[in-house]
Amino acid sequence: MSVQVSYKKQIMFGIICLVIFLIVLEAIIITYDYFTKQCKFMSSDVFENFDQAEKLQICRDSEALVITKYPFPEMKPNQDFSTIHINNAGFRGPDFLPIKPENTYRIFVIGGSTTFGSASTSDITTIPGYLQQKFDNENSEVNIEIINAGISAAFSFTEIQLLKNKILGYEPDLIIVYDGANDVVSNYPTNDYLYEEKEENSFFEEIANFVSNYRTIQVFQKFLLYSNEQEWNERLIYELKEYDIDKKAQIWENNWSEICQISKEKAFDMLITIQPMAGTSDRKLTDFERMKFIQHDNQKIINYLGVYASALEKLNRSCDNVADLRNVFDGIEGPLFYDHVHVSDRGNKIVAEKLFELTKPIVFSKIDTSL
């Protein structure tokens, strides 16, 4: 009996030692990660001329952001970091008056993290930031405000909730929609997506998700499952699930068609666009971009994005202004993407120039009419 107890004690002692070892190892890896932080953009050739301190600052600012999820995703107001300012209304950029002043034309740009400016070096180097600069250079007699309403992971359902419940209260004159990628990878089978009960994961799926978040497991995975750096770099880190893409695209079209109808009733303009991704433009991808293209199953995403582009053409029947921007980077050389969809400041500027070209006639036709 005493021997059995001894064995039990030894096993228990061994388990305790193993748990302590794993906790200490996890703490060491997390500490190492903190001081040698590697956000996903930091190894990109887009940032090769940035010093480590600057990249770390962008990384830590992005991770410190607070987004509230209910009743719909939005930025917590009044957040201030070195490279990001969230204003009094919960949008990226300078503060603005809730009640639109006279002689002001107000533009909102809505979308996901590409609109928000994930890894942008400042508020003014985001797509809305560059668009503001373009309009400022016009020296208009009217104050043209560009408001960045991008939110990480947003897609059409959450954007429409933000638009209906918040943005309309700020009297927009023009709303620009810049997205597409998040809709392709999101699962929304019906128009009641936001209100449906989500199917819960099984016990084993929950355990797997829990364990996979530990850095120790991730480090072991790299060294045990991949024989060399190339295999690691070309591993599939995201696989697009098989959805009824035609049904999804139809829902997307119906949703924005409804908003276009509201815009006509409330007398503001809409411009709905489909965004570019790595591989949609006629340009040679850099080695790094090609790696991200493979890792994120981008060819399948791009094929699905094409279905949305077809829906965009049909949307033109109910919306006055639509634009397919998938080819906006045609002929552009050098690095633009730091992953499969997010771009550098340089990429943001190119997109902003195209949006300016598309919106300038809309804006100034309304301004000239009002003067």
Q: Examine the pLDDT at 148 and tell me if it is beyond 60.
A: yes
Q: Could you tell me if 150 and 110 are in contact, meaning their C-beta atoms sit under 8 angstroms apart? A: yes
Distance between CA atoms of residues 150 and 115, nearest Å: 5
Residue 18, pLDDT score: 87
Residue 8, pLDDT score: 79
Residue 198, pLDDT score: 43
Sorting pLDDT into bands at 50, 70 and 90, what band is 370?
Answer: low
Sorting pLDDT into bands at 50, 70 and 90, what band is 283?
Answer: very high
Q: Could you tell me if 174 and 363 are in contact, meaning their C-beta atoms sit under 8 angstroms apart? A: yes
Q: Examine the pLDDT at 186 and tell me if it is beyond 80.
A: yes
Q: Could you tell me if 348 and 123 are in contact, meaning their C-beta atoms sit under 8 angstroms apart? A: no
The predicted model gives 224-243 an average pLDDT of 53
Question: How many angstroms separate the Cα of 138 from the Cα of each of 143, 278, 331?
Answer: 11, 32, 27
Give the tokens for residue 105: 């034309």
Q: Examine the pLDDT at 200 and tell me if it is beyond 60.
A: no
Model confidence pLDDT, tens digit, residues 48-74: 999 988 999 999 999 899 999 888 899
Model confidence pLDDT, tens digit, residues 89-129: 999 999 999 999 999 999 999 999 999 999 999 999 999 99
Q: Examine the pLDDT at 273 and tell me if it is beyond 80.
A: yes
- Domains of the chain as residue ranges with CATH: 66-370 (3.40.50.1110)
Q: Examine the pLDDT at 214 and tell me if it is beyond 90.
A: no
Mean pLDDT across the chain, nearest whole number? 86
- Which of 19-28, 143-152, 162-171, 248-257 bottoms out in mean pLDDT, i.e. has the lowest? 19-28
Kindly tell me the sign of the dihedral angle through the C-alpha atoms of 285, 291, 292, 295: positive
pTM attached to this predicted model: 0.82
- Which of 3-7, 157-161, 176-180, 273-277 bottoms out in mean pLDDT, i.e. has the lowest? 3-7
Residue 269, pLDDT score: 97
End-to-end CA distance of the chain: 97
Residue 41, pLDDT score: 84
Q: Examine the pLDDT at 228 and tell me if it is beyond 90.
A: no
Q: Which residue has the higher pLDDT, 229 or 333?
A: 333
Residue percentage of the chain with pLDDT more than 90: 64
Note the helical H segments in the chain. 2-35, 52-64, 113-116, 127-136, 156-165, 181-185, 203-212, 215-225, 229-233, 245-266, 287-295, 298-315, 345-370
183-187, 321-325, 365-369, range with greatest mean pLDDT: 321-325
Sorting pLDDT into bands at 50, 70 and 90, what band is 196?
Answer: very low
- Which of 2-6, 35-39, 179-183 bottoms out in mean pLDDT, i.e. has the lowest? 2-6
SS3 of 281, please? coil
The predicted model gives 195-209 an average pLDDT of 51
Model confidence pLDDT, tens digit, residues 292-331: 999 888 999 999 999 999 999 999 889 999 999 999 999 9
Residue 322, pLDDT score: 97
Residue 131, pLDDT score: 98
The predicted model gives 278-286 an average pLDDT of 96
Q: Examine the pLDDT at 291 and tell me if it is beyond 80.
A: yes
Distance between CA atoms of residues 212 and 197, nearest Å: 25
Query: Residue 189: which H helix or E strand, with range?
Result: none
Q: Examine the pLDDT at 210 and tell me if it is beyond 60.
A: no
Residue 112, pLDDT score: 96
The predicted model gives 346-353 an average pLDDT of 98
Residue 109, pLDDT score: 98
